[in-house]
Structure formats: structure tokens, C-alpha cells
Structure 1
Amino acid sequence: MIYITGDTHANFRRFSRKQMPYHLEKGDYMIVCGDFGLLWAKDRTFQYNLKFFEQRTYTTLWVSGNHENYDMIKEYPKELWHGGMARHIVRDKVILLERGQVFEIEGKRFFTFGGAASHDIQGGILDLDDPEFMVKRQRANRSYLPYRVKNISWWEAELPTEEEMKEGKENLEKINYKVDYVITHCVSNRIQDKIEERYYGGGTYGRSYFPDILTGYLEEIEGKLQYQHWFCGHYHMNEEIDMKHTVLYEKIIPLNQYEMKGIFQKQE
């Protein structure tokens, strides 16, 4: 059985036995749509969380978000897993599904593409090597604007490289752009605009999320893709945007409620 949820940001209480709404067994999968947060700092919390997931009966799969430590991610080698490239963070218990990959899981075909542009950086992205770092940080603190620090709480790798995007297209071309499910952190320009208009009021100056290289890439991909359903995180809501797009946050859902008995529909 496959289940899906949204951002956890290293808060894994929803996976505890007391809060988990479903009984997952060995062989089941839990997919996290980015901002998992397990890889953030090599501290006691990290070690505790590794043991926590080692003790789960099921396997946790995840795509990267924008709030991940990409330097730590690189320390785990890529391996072929269920047809696509992945990284085993905890062997057979926690597996990162790489960008632009196609996986065969329980007879279903998944296209995965993690990452997103950070939107909580109105105070700027500060650099510890900048001689004016302390001045800029004090200025950001006084303004009460959120900021990030390069390679400490923000990484350029939150957005994909040209090679990753090219690989994604090549992998989809091999299967004629036909999958069962898409798992991403953010969504295409068109769907993101729907989210903005419906939940954030839209408008140029009132926007929370802006188009970027990844949302544009997903727009291009979606124009060719045949799929049953698209799941993402990032937007901190649990909403059905339309018949083919679901945004998840704290909610956990079983994938089988979205199965359409093998019928593929092309997004219009």
C-alpha cells in the first residue's frame, strides 16, 4: 500500500503510532512531497530521527524540497532503485527519489522532480563570507523580514540544474510521456497561479509565489504528460486544486483512492 503526505520540516509526529491514522505494515510506502527536513544538521536530533525511521515497519520515500540541506544529501551516493536513481538515507527505510526519475512501485509508474524556489527570503540570502554579514543580519532582524544564510539554511541546489531537467525529459521520452502519478514539491506555473488566485488573492504585489525556472519546466512537462494525478507539497495546505492536482501538508492519504483503473487522461 502507498500513502502520501506533505511537508514535515523535520517534525515527524504524524508518523508516530499515536497520530498515524493508518496501520502501515512491512512493504508499505509513505511518500513525502518535499521539505522532509531529515537532512538538516548532524546533531543529536538527526541521530534520534534516523533511529526513529529505522524502527518504522514501512519505507519512507521523499522528493527534495527547498528547505533541505543539499550538502548532506550529496554525501549519500546515487543508486538504481525500482527503475530510477535514488539515495538510501536509511537503508530500505528512508529513500530520496532523485529529480527527473521514473520509478515502478507496486505496479504504478511515478515521475519525480523535487525542489522549489524559497519564498521566505524577503530579508535576503546572507553569506557568511560577506564582510557586511553582521550588518545585513541586524538590518534583517530589525525589519522582522525572514532571511536565509547561504549553505547554512539555504542552498542554490533548491532549484534544478540544466542536466537534471534534461534527464527528466529524456526519461519521459523513453516511456512516451505516460505515467500514473507525478510527485513534486512545487507545481507548474498554471497550477501555481490557480493556487495564488484562489488562496492568496493573486495580484502582482500580493503574490506569495512567483514563476521560476522549475515551475516553468513543470509547465512544459505537463503540456506533454499523460498521468492520472499530480501530488505536491510546498504550499502548506491540504487542498484539491482541481480533478488532477492535490496539494498536501499535514494530511496523509492512501494513494488507492486516486486510482482510475489504468485509465490515462491527458491534461488539457
Structure 2
Amino acid sequence: MIYITGDTHGDFSRIEKFCDEYSTTQADTMIILGDAGINYNLNERDIELKEELAQLPITLFCVHGNHEERPYLIDSYEEKIWNEELAYFEEKYPNILFAADGEIYDFEGKKSIVIGGAYSVDKHYRLRGNMPWLESDLTLIAGILKN
């Protein structure tokens, strides 16, 4: 079964409740649109979150948001074909997948193109607030503007 939800910002408590209530399995997929918060800190905190999420009885398919490092820029991620298209994953966490922008995935016979979240232009606001700033936010904006 395919399920869809919005941003989690690193808080997966509602996903955990959902899995319990609906007795999901890793054959089920939860599509997370936007900021999942899984690659937000790029430190031990992210690893702890991934360890917890790896225990969930569901496959998480994440479409990156605007304040999360792109998995293709993180050395521990690998590519694989999933639902007929390219996806990113880490071997230690096979139920946590990230979409590749522009791919057209097949979800139980329904095709969906993936285009990740808005790219952030709030660098100074984030830095003043002591929040992480990912250089890929700015790089991708520049790439979009050039094309």
C-alpha cells in the first residue's frame, strides 16, 4: 500500500503511530513530501534518527525539502533502481530511500514524476538563527537560474 504525508522535520512520531495503527510492513511505502529531516544535521543526530527509522515496519520514500542535504552529495549513499527509477539509499538503512529529481516512479501502476522541494534563499536568516545552512541550497538555486 502507498501512503503520503508532508514534512516531518525529523519528528516521526506520527509515522510510528500510523504504522502501529495500520499494521504496516516494509512492503508498504510512506512517501514523505518535503523536509524529512533525515539529512539535516549531518552528524551523529542524523545517524541516531536513521537507526530509529530503520526499525519502522514501512519503507520511507523521501522527496527532499529545502533544508536537507541532497543524498547524492553524501558519500554514504548509493544508487539503486526502485520502482523502475533511480533512488538513493544507505546499505545500513534499506527502508529509507530518497527520490532522484526528475525520475518517474511507478507506484502500484500510477506514475509520478519527482521534483524536490523549493530551494532556499534564506541563508542569512538561517545563519543568524544558528540553524544549519547547506551550500547545496544556494548551488541549486544558481543552477536553476542559469538554465
TM-score of the two chains, using structure 2 as the length reference: 0.76
Is the contact made by 1:14 and 1:20 (CA closer than 8 Å) also made in structure 2? no
Q: Secondary structure at the match of 1:16?
A: helix
The alpha-carbon distance between structure 1 residues 24 and 156, as it changes in their structure 2 partners (threshold 3 A), is same
1:20 offset after TM fit, Å? Answer: 6.1
1:115-142: CA deviation from partner (whole Å, max 9, x where unpaired): 31326x2xxx35xxxxxxxxxxxxxxxx
Task: For 1:1-268, list aligned pairs within 5 A.
Answer: 1-17=1-17, 22-70=22-70, 73-75=73-75, 76-89=77-90, 91-118=93-120, 121=122, 125-126=123-124, 146-148=125-127, 152-157=132-137, 159=140
The alpha-carbon distance between structure 1 residues 161 and 118, as it changes in their structure 2 partners (threshold 3 A), is closer
The alpha-carbon distance between structure 1 residues 154 and 86, as it changes in their structure 2 partners (threshold 3 A), is same
Q: Secondary structure at the match of 1:94?
A: strand
For residues 8 and 14 of structure 2, the distance between their equivalents in structure 1, rounded to whole angstroms, comes to 9
1:141-166: CA deviation from partner (whole Å, max 9, x where unpaired): xxxxx3338xx42333464786xxxx
RMSD of aligned residue pairs (Cα, Å): 3.0
Is the contact made by 2:19 and 2:58 (CA closer than 8 Å) also made in structure 1? no
1:173-203: CA deviation from partner (whole Å, max 9, x where unpaired): xxxxxxxxxxxxxxxxxxxxxxxxxxxxxxx
The alpha-carbon distance between structure 1 residues 10 and 109, as it changes in their structure 2 partners (threshold 3 A), is same
Is the contact made by 2:126 and 2:133 (CA closer than 8 Å) also made in structure 1? no
**What letter matches 1:92 in structure 2?**
P
Q: Which has the larger radius of gyration?
A: 1
For residues 68 and 99 of structure 1, the distance between their equivalents in structure 2, rounded to whole angstroms, comes to 14
TM-score of the two chains, using structure 1 as the length reference: 0.45
The alpha-carbon distance between structure 1 residues 157 and 17, as it changes in their structure 2 partners (threshold 3 A), is same
Q: Which moved more, 1:4-13 or 1:43-52?
A: 43-52
Is the contact made by 2:51 and 2:93 (CA closer than 8 Å) also made in structure 1? no
Q: Matched residue pairs, number?
A: 140
The alpha-carbon distance between structure 1 residues 160 and 79, as it changes in their structure 2 partners (threshold 3 A), is farther
1:74 offset after TM fit, Å? Answer: 3.3
**What letter matches 1:7 in structure 2?**
D
Gaps of 5+ in 1: 127-145, 163-211, 218-268
1:105 offset after TM fit, Å? Answer: 2.4
For residues 111 and 18 of structure 2, the distance between their equivalents in structure 1, rounded to whole angstroms, comes to 32
The sequence identity of aligned pairs, in percent, is 26
Is the contact made by 1:31 and 1:62 (CA closer than 8 Å) also made in structure 2? yes
Gaps of 5+ in 2: none
Q: Secondary structure at the match of 1:25?
A: coil
1:48 offset after TM fit, Å? Answer: 1.9
